[in-house]
Amino acid sequence: MIPNLSRIGLLTDSVRPKFEALGLLEYENAPDEYSDWVELEKPLEEFDKIPTAI
């Protein structure tokens, strides 16, 4: 999870100390769980068909 947060820019200066206190920053440079980032960066094809929450 930590490498993925770092990759998408959510490991910000405001949350970094919290993860550091938990000892999780040692995993920041571990291999991420998903390798096809090009596919993930594409817009959702059917975004307008996603149901809204009830």
In this model, does residue 53 exceed pLDDT 70?
yes
What pLDDT is attached to residue 28?
86
Integer CA distances (angstroms), 49 to 1, 36, 45, 52, in order:
28, 24, 9, 9
- CA 23, 40, 47, 9: dihedral to nearest 10 degrees? 40
More confident residue, 49 or 13: 13
Taking only the tens place, the pLDDT of each residue in 10-47 is 999 999 999 999 999 998 888 766 666 677 677 767 76
Rounded to two decimals, the pTM is 0.53
Taking only the tens place, the pLDDT of each residue in 2-11 is 888 888 889 9
CB 50 within 8 A of CB 44: yes
